[in-house]
DNA sequence: CTGAAAGCGCTTACAG
DNA sequence: CTGAAAGCGCTTACAG
């Protein structure tokens, strides 16, 4: 684990199909046929088959994927395009850490079908479409796009790559899209708060650069509030700091609920509690329309929330991409639902 | 944004260098020379140069990267290998969400140099080395490996791909590795706690599947404790739940500090506070040897901690890979240091 | 059942 | 300053 590095690398040449063919005493195409699982009409006697497999093993033959792509016109590589903040803003180089669950789901789903996922983080998608890169270079059989994108980008992408799947963003067609049912999540959350007997709801939402889901969640909350006669107080957050929470915390009464529309706003509120003596569920209720890293043991299990499996969303998107590539038909869009986790930050009044 | 999908895709053929050459009335190699930035000895008259550029523009010519790889033997693709839990454990499909910052750093660093990052999440690295995949297929010019790996895997990788960089894991050679200075982080954290006047330190650490950093952090804490005569009480965590925290919380006194060696253990403790009336810094100090999403606005700013920029670590690794590929020499290993953030969960005693 | 040929799209020498 | 040729490693028809 600690020996010196840098063994001089010999200009060693990897074995090719030609080498295998020569060693086995057959022609090159026969090698292809055997190694790629013999097609009908190209059956090979089991004797030569064995010879070829043995020669390949002895030479450590590994087919060159780039050459295969060149010939077949298919790379079995899928680009994952994920929106990112501009690189010029050094404090926000992460686009939504929770996206990592989507990334992982997409990666695993593609891997299961023998595809490789290439991550492209795009601060400026428009610019990425124009500059020379993998997208331009016919490298991807398809592209999975995560998060909101502008119309120009959508059109540009459709020219650059034949197959697309849209995940968790503003694109919503009858086919080829995956989304979470945002309004359902908000309604579910609001119903639980209503059932527990809270009358006044402070709804935390992000006022800057809102995701498409933000208005949908607010709409869900408002619909339920109308139905059950609760009062909604919108609380617009502009910065991510806990300082913004101080006035809210001062105002909260035991009959009040804070409904965080995003996981981050719930976390920010919790962090702000260091400076206050109030805490849920004793002094107010805290519920959230979302949870954090759903699949991870370190999730915030105590939070009363609607949980949602982003990994599954990514996995579903990958499966849709594979179906599209292999059947040639774009599968119907899917709207995924979360479920309520009662947690411990809210409790029944009375 | 809502029009129907599935315009029938014509069997449309992308323009090739040959098409461009014909349209411009030159030979194919001249096209290559112009489009790849003319090499010395292959200068082209500015008239034909213009003709070629115009023809390429008109035809929407985009060079085929797979073909280029085949010919040149270089793909400009780098594999990012990241350890993951086994897929059979559905509750832990995320390997350490904080790794996402490393992933993003690597991606950005490679992109800056014109390389593409392909993510491979490996539940069973050993198996991945043996199965047919991108690693086998000569697809990567190099590989960046994140987290701990077994010796067999190291040797296997060295046969499969010529260039490696090791990040945040057990591999530590004089060259080609990037790590955080774990012992320094722990010492820094312990010194701050000592300065603030805390006498008894409860050190939270994960007893199951520890990262290489865990013993180093504990060693750093113990060294400082010896120097300043503090008492260390190790608290081994087995599950990620907050239930484990209950006995600890009962025992804590205002002169006590909890030193979380990992960010997750700090979070778990904070989540457990829902069930208790104690909170830092009033009733005890909470400090951490690590922070969470360092670059993200949603970071836990209030936590008194040693902060560390994983994005920078990934970016550094990417730069080292590029240097290695382009200069042919493996750059020296780098040990990166975090810095103290005083936060609000610990305060001076007295 | 097997092999010789042509071709994917590109680039790297090398000759004019 | 420009072009005809050879080749990267693979696969897909097609002929024996």
Task: Name the DSSP class of B245.
Answer: G
pLDDT at B336 over 90: yes
Q: What is the pLDDT of residue B318?
A: 98
Task: Calculate the angstrom distance between C1' of D8 and CA of B68.
Answer: 9
B22-31 mean pLDDT: 84
Q: Is A108 on the interface with B (CB under 8 A)?
A: yes
Q: Which of chain C's bases lie under 7 Å from a protein CB? A: 1-14
Interchain CB contact of B102 with A (< 8 Å): no
The whole-number pLDDT of residue B290 equals 93
Residue B10 has pLDDT above 60, yes or no: no
- To probe the interface with B, which of A98, A118, A159 has the most B CB atoms within 10 Å? A118
- Cα dihedral A100, A101, A105, A106 in deg (nearest 10): -30
- pLDDT tens-digit profile, chain A (350 residues): 334 344 334 446 788 888 888 888 888 888 888 887 644 344 667 788 888 888 888 888 999 999 999 988 899 999 999 887 666 666 655 567 888 999 999 999 999 999 999 999 876 667 777 777 888 899 999 999 998 888 888 888 888 999 999 999 999 999 999 999 999 999 999 999 999 999 999 999 988 877 889 999 999 999 999 999 999 999 999 876 788 899 999 999 999 999 999 998 999 999 898 888 899 999 999 999 998 887 766 678 899 999 999 999 999 999 999 999 998 899 999 999 999 999 999 999 87
* Residues B140-176 pLDDT 10s: 999 999 988 888 888 888 889 999 999 999 999 999 9
**How high is the pLDDT of residue B325?**
93
> pLDDT, tens digit, for every residue of B91-145?
655 567 888 999 999 999 999 999 999 999 876 666 777 777 888 899 999 999 9
* Res B109: pLDDT: 94
Give the per-residue pLDDT at B11.
46
Token readout for B162 is: 């010529």
Q: Judge whether residue B33 has pLDDT over 70.
A: yes
Specify burial of residue A30 (Cβ count, 10 A radius: 0-12, 13-18, 19+).
Answer: buried
Decide: A25 and A47 in contact? Cβ < 8 Å: no
Q: What are the distances in angstroms from CA A51 to CA A55, A124, A197, B112? A: 6, 53, 76, 46
For the record, the structure tokens of A64 come out as: 């060159």
What is the three-state SS of B263-293? Answer: HHHHHHHHHHHHHCCCCCCCCCEEEECCCCC
B86 exposed, middle or buried (CB, 10 Å; 0-12, 13-18, 19+)? Answer: exposed
- Closest residue (CA) to C1' of nucleotide C11 is B71
Q: Is the per-residue pLDDT at B30 higher than 60?
A: yes
- Looking at residue A142, its pLDDT comes to 95
CB atoms within 10 A of CB A27: 13
B305-332 mean pLDDT: 95
Kindly indicate the confidence band of residue B298, based on its pLDDT and cuts at 50, 70 and 90: low
What is the arrangement of strands in the sheet containing A231-237, beginning at the earlier edge strand? A231-237, A200-206, A256-260, A285-288, A304-307, A339-341
Is B92 within 8 Å of A297 (Cβ atoms)? yes
CA distance readout (Å), A108 to A31, A116, B193, B298: 30, 9, 42, 27
pLDDT digits (tens, 9 = 90+) for B94-109: 567 888 999 999 999 9
Contact A329, A208 (CB under 8 A): no
Indicate the pTM of the whole model.
0.91
Q: Is the pLDDT of residue B44 over 80?
A: no
Can you give the three-state secondary structure of B114-141, one letter per residue?
CCEEEEEEECCHHHHHHCCCCCCCCCCC
Say yes or no for a CB contact (<8 Å) between A90 and B295.
yes
B69 is near strand D: CB distance < 7 Å:
no
Q: Mapped to the 3 state alphabet, what secondary structure does A52-95 carry?
A: HHHHHHHHCCCCCHHHHHHHHCCCCEEEEEEECCCCCCHHHCCC
Q: Give the pLDDT of residue A86.
A: 63
Do residue A137 and residue B270 have CB atoms under 8 angstroms apart? no
What is the Cα–Cα distance from B87 to B85, expressed in whole angstroms?
A: 6
3-class SS of residue B332: strand
DSSP sequence for A114-173: T-EEEEEEESSHHHHHHSSSTTTTT--SEEEEES---HHHHHHHHHH-SEEEEESSS---
Q: How far apart are CA A329 and CA A28, in angstroms?
A: 35
What's the CA gap between B174 and B155, in Å, rounded? 17
Question: Which nucleotide has the least CA–C1' distance to A68?
Answer: D10
What is the pLDDT, as a whole number, of residue B37? 64
Q: Does residue B65 contact residue B87 with C-beta atoms inside 8 Å?
A: no
Residue A162 and residue B6: Cα distance in Å, rounded?
11
Interface test with A, best of B69, B79, B164 (most A CBs within 10 A): B69
- CA quadruple B20, B23, B28, B33: dihedral positive or negative? negative
Alpha-carbon gap, residue B288 to A270, rounded angstroms: 17
Tell me if B264 and A97 make a contact (CB, 8 A cut-off): no
Q: CB atoms < 10 A from the CB of A71, how many? A: 12
Give the angle subtended at the CA of A101 by the CAs of A168 and B317, to the nearest 5°.
Answer: 115
Among A residues 110-129, those touching chain B with beta carbons less than 8 Å apart: 111, 116-121
Whole-number average pLDDT of chain B: 87
Name residues whose C-beta falls within 8 Å of residue B350's C-beta, 6 or more positions apart in sequence: B197
Q: Name the residue of chain B whose CA is nearest to A12's CA.
A: B162
Q: Which positions in chain B touch A242 (Cβ < 8 Å)?
A: 301-302
Structure tokens at A231: 């009062």
């Amino acid at each position: 684990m600690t020996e010196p590095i840098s063994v001089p690398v010999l200009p060693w040449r990897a074995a090719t199909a030609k080498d295998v063919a020569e060693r086995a005493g057959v022609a090159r195409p026969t090698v292809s046929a055997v190694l790629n699982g013999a097609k009908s009409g190209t059956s090979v006697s089991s004797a030569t088959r064995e010879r070829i497999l043995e020669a390949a093993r002895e030479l450590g033959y590994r087919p060159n994927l780039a050459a295969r792509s060149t010939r077949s016109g298919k790379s079995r590589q899928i680009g994952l395009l994920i929106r990112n903040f501009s690189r010029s803003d050094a404090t926000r180089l992460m686009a939504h850490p929770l996206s990592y669950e989507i990334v992982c789901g997409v990666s695993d789903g593609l891997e299961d079908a023998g595809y490789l996922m290439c991550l492209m983080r795009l601060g400026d998608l428009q610019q990425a479409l124009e500059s020379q890169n993998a997208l331009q270079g016919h490298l991807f059989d398809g592209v999975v796009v995560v998060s909101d994108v502008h119309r120009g980008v959508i059109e540009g992408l459709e020219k650059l790559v034949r197959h697309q799947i849209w995940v968790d963003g503003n694109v919503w067609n009858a086919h080829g899209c995956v989304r979470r049912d945002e309004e359902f999540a908000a309604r579910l959350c609001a119903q639980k708060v209503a059932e527990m007997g809270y009358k006044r709801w402070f709804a935390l939402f992000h006022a800057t650069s809102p995701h498409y889901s933000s208005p949908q969640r607010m709409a869900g909350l408002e619909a339920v509030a109308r139905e059950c006669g609760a009062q909604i107080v919108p609380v617009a957050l502009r910065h991510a700091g806990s300082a913004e929470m101080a006035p809210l915390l001062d105002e909260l009464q035991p009959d009040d609920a804070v409904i965080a529309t995003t996981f981050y706003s719930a976390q920010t509120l919790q962090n702000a509690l260091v400076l206050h003596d109030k805490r849920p569920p004793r002094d107010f209720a805290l519920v959230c329309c979302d949870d954090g890293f759903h699949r991870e043991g370190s999730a915030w299990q105590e939070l009363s929330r609607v949980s949602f499996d982003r990994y599954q969303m990514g996995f579903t998107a990958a499966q849709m991409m594979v179906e599209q590539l292999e059947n040639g038909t774009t599968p119907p869009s899917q709207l995924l639902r979360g479920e309520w986790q009662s947690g411990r930050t809210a409790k029944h009044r009375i």
